[in-house]
Amino acid sequence: MPRTCLYENHLKAGATMVDFHGWEMPIRYTQIPQEHQKVRLSAGLFDLCHMGRLEFSGPGAEEWVQSVVTTDLSRIEFGHARYSLICDPNGGILDDIIIYRLPKSLFLVVNASNRDTVKPWFEEHKGGRDAQLADRSEELGMLSIQGPQYVRILAPLVEWTEHSLGKLPYYHIMKAKILGKRALLATTGYTGENGFEIYLPAEAAPEFWDKLLETGNGLIAPIGLGARDTLRVEAGMPLYGNELTRETNPFEAGLGFAVKLQKPVPFIGQEALARLNAEGPKRKLVGLRIFSKKVARQGMPIYNGEPAVGIVTSGIPSPTLGFPIAMGYVDKNTQVSDSLEVDIRGTRVQARLEPLPFFSRTRHKAAHAL
């Protein structure tokens, strides 16, 4: 099973390792709720080396990427980031990605679970354009520091940055120098906290990881995939394979903002998406508060009387709120005033619609950055 360049760091930190889409990754180092609260209250460090990093360059690069993704790159300036989707011709979601515009290239981060589908998908749709796709996933390490103390922990380790470390707005990227190496710092994340996703040469990543924990001196802890999941659910952020699949479309997922139907280059799924948008979604992705100690989990049916009106896509005991929360799809007519129930292994428990996100320090900024 493939391991990241930080594998030894995880073992040293006492991680419990699991198979995550074919990668041997840390699920937790201590306990999930404890790691979760560390990120909310101070800071956490994440290994994201399993994600895919693709760099597009050359004169035809922009048009190539434009023809595949749903967002409009012509609106993204240098140093900006944009959330986007890749859809199939029917408007089904193939992946959700982040696109950064660098001075000479477009830099895309794709999900670990979709690394093997997205790259060939781009290659298939290159259409003879004068451009190159370089897979940087092996040579570049990717880690993330998230949580209120992130600037204070990172600052002593960063030798140079293009802009002031604490002032880069949400969903931006800048050049930096770390451990004598060229790096990129992006104000993106998957926790609802402020922080940086950091790209630097893979060979420097293990030392950088150790130095962050060392200089962080108790203010920061390594965070496994378990808490990464509880953090993103509180932040109302979708996960590919749960909220997003080839059978879901962007509008029902509440991601219509990432689909620019009017853009200079036609893109895969455009016609189907225009039709789906005109028809309006039949169901909607919602947040749920669960009135029980039991956790509603992926696949459990949601009822509003009879018959079922939806299905849970993700659910957790929320460490921040102190009760279970979930995300799921429900019939578009479902209202906050409806008394819903989730069938948890044969027992119906009460549930109520809750606005997403459940908790976020970034979302109000995200809304217009996106």
Partner 1 sequence: MPLPKNLRYTPTHEWVRVEGAFAIVGITDFAVEQLSDLVFIELPAKDAKVKKDARFGEIESTKTVSDLIAPVSGKVVEVNTALADNLDLIKDSPYDQGWMVKISMTDPAEVESLLTANRYQQQLDSEEH
Say whether residue 301 binds partner 1 (CB under 8 A): no
Q: Return the residue matching tokens 């950064």.
A: 100
Report if residue 298 touches partner 1, rule: CB under 8 A.
no
Q: Give the nearest distance from C-beta 62 to partner 1 in angstroms.
A: 41
H helix and E strand count, the chain: 9, 20
Q: Which of 92, 201, 206, 317 binds partner 1 (CB under 8 A)?
A: 317
Q: Which of 12, 17, 27, 352 binds partner 1 (CB under 8 A)?
A: 27
Number of residues binding to partner 1, judged by CB under 8 A: 16
Q: Find the shortest distance in angstroms from Cβ 288 to partner 1.
A: 17
Residue 95 Cβ vs partner 1, minimum distance, rounded to whole Å: 24
What is the rounded end-to-end Cα distance, in angstroms, of the chain? Answer: 36
Contact 91, 273 (CB under 8 A): yes
313 is a site residue for partner 1 (CB under 8 A): no
Can you tell me which of 3, 17, 33, 132 binds partner 1, judged by CB under 8 A? 33
Residue 3 interacts with partner 1 (CB under 8 A)?
no
| Structure-token pair, residue 228 | 């990464």
Measured CA to CA in angstroms, residue 170 lies from 193, 223, 326, 355 at distances of 10, 22, 26, 22
Residue closest to 114 by CA, chosen among 139, 95, 92:
95
CB nearer to partner 1: give 37 or 149: 37
Stretch that binds partner 1, among 60-68, 69-77, 121-129, 294-302 (CB under 8 A): 294-302
List b or e across 127-154, with b for residues whose CB sees 16 or more CB atoms inside 10 angstroms.
eebebebeebbeebbbbbbbbbbbbbbb
Token pair for 99 = 């696109």
- Beta strands 106-110; 221-222: pairing state: unpaired
Span 197-216, contacts to partner 1 by CB under 8 A: none
Rounded least distance, CB 4 to partner 1, Å: 21
Residue 70 engages partner 1 in binding (rule: CB under 8 A): no
By CB under 8 A, residue 368 contacts partner 1: no
Distance, in Å, from the CA atom of 163 to the CA atom of 161, rounded to the nearest integer, reads: 5
CA distance 69 to 88: 10
Nearest distance from C-beta of residue 349 to partner 1, angstroms: 11
Q: How far is the CB of 12 from partner 1 (least distance, A)?
A: 19
Using the rule CB under 8 A, is 241 a contact of partner 1? Answer: no
**Contacts to partner 1 by CB under 8 A:** 16, 27-28, 31-34, 226, 230, 293-295, 297, 316-317, 345
